[in-house]
Each structure stands twice: as structure tokens, then as C-alpha cells.
Amino acid sequence: MTSVPRLSVTSDDITTLAVDAIVNAANSSLQGGGGVDGAIHRAGGPAILSACRAIVAAQGPCRPGDAVVTDAGELPAGLVIHTVGPVWNPGDDEAMKATLASCYRRSLQLGMEHGVRSIAFPNISTGVYRFPKPLAAAVTLDAVIEWLESTPEHRYTDILFACFDDENRNLYETLLVESP
């Protein structure tokens, strides 16, 4: 029987976390950018960008809701899982929620395939992509818990949500207290 991983929240900088994998809220070109994506590329050094360029050259841009894996370069994490979240489009809520949920499920699946036991997620799509933070937090936790329950073979021990602001941290902390 697989043990239930610890789900926790931190305000720590995701680039400083010594976990098996961190997740990058990337753009489809995987070339770095602003926010957490830029921070991960800067802190990880040129090896991450080089690996991302090779992936895009081999398979084209990463589609929203999908993910790819690279080494972590100079980061304390072992791997970086790059996922592309949706840009919020009011009126297309169900598609936006499905794409965001896919980011988390796909990242967890790739992590499992690479032997990851501890993983840290940023708040995907809630920065410049403008996904409403309360909705994103609910979608995220539902997707993660659903994936864990439907994938008993996983080996995760720790799943960390690295929140970049107080609003996200408070949302995650509240929802985690309320979840079973």
C-alpha cells in the first residue's frame, strides 16, 4: 500500500528548495521569461536553457497542459519539470480549468516516471497569465488529490506548494485544512 504524501505550503523561493523536482510555470517556447520561469532559468544556469532548446528543436513548442523534463542545472533540485499553463480567458472557464488541472497531473506523472519522491509546484498561471487565484488553488488541489488517489503506484512522499504571495499561501493553507 502506498503511503499518503505530505501536502504542504511554503513561501520559500522555489529555486532554493532541495527536492527531487521543481515544476516550472513555463511558456510554450521553454525559453525562460518573467516570473518563476525567469527565476528558474537564471538560478539554474545555461544548462536548463540548452536542454529546453533541444526539446523544442526535437518536438516543437510545449502545448498548454503538457510538460517536459530537464536536468536542474545549478539548482538544488534534481530535475525541473516545465509545464505550460493556460492564459486566463474569461468565458472559457471549463477549458481553462481542464488545462490547468492537466499541468499538475502531467507534472506528477512525469515526476513518477523519473523516480521523483518530493516535488514543489509554483502557482501555475496565477501571475501574468491572470488565472483567478481562488479558482486556481481549488483546481490545483482537486487535480493533485485526484491524481494521487487514481495512481496508487506513485512513490511521492512530499508535495510542496511554493506560493509566491500571501494571497496564494492563505488560499492553499485554507484549502488543505478543509480537504480530507
Would you state the CATH architecture of domain 6-178? Answer: 3-Layer(aba) Sandwich (3.40)
Q: Which three cell numbers stand for residue 112?
A: 513518477
Q: Which band of pLDDT confidence, cut at 50, 70 and 90, is reported for residue 166? A: very high
The fraction of the chain above a pLDDT of 70, given in percent, is 97
Q: Please give the residue that has the higher pLDDT: either 102 or 177.
A: 102
Catalytic, 166? Answer: no
Beta-ladder partners of 21: 79, 119
Q: Can you tell me which residue has the cell 536542474?
A: 72
Q: Which band of pLDDT confidence, cut at 50, 70 and 90, is reported for residue 180? A: low
Q: Which three cell numbers stand for residue 116?
A: 521523483
Do the strands 67-71 and 79-84 form a parallel or antiparallel pair, or are they unpaired?
antiparallel
Gyration radius from the chain CA atoms:
15
Three-state DSSP state, 140 = helix
- Contact present, 121 and 24 (Cβ < 8 Å): no
| Average pLDDT of the residues in 107-135 | 96
| Average pLDDT of the residues in 65-73 | 98
| Per-residue model confidence (pLDDT) at position 83 | 98
DSSP-derived secondary structure for 2-40:
PPPPEEEEE-S-GGG--SSEEEEEE-TT-S--SHHHHHH
Half-sphere exposure of 56 (CA within 13 A, CB side): 17
> What are the extents of the domains in the chain?
6-178
| Average pLDDT of the residues in 159-177 | 95
- 34: pLDDT strictly greater than 90: no
Which position among 20, 37, 66, 93 bears the catalytic label? Answer: 37
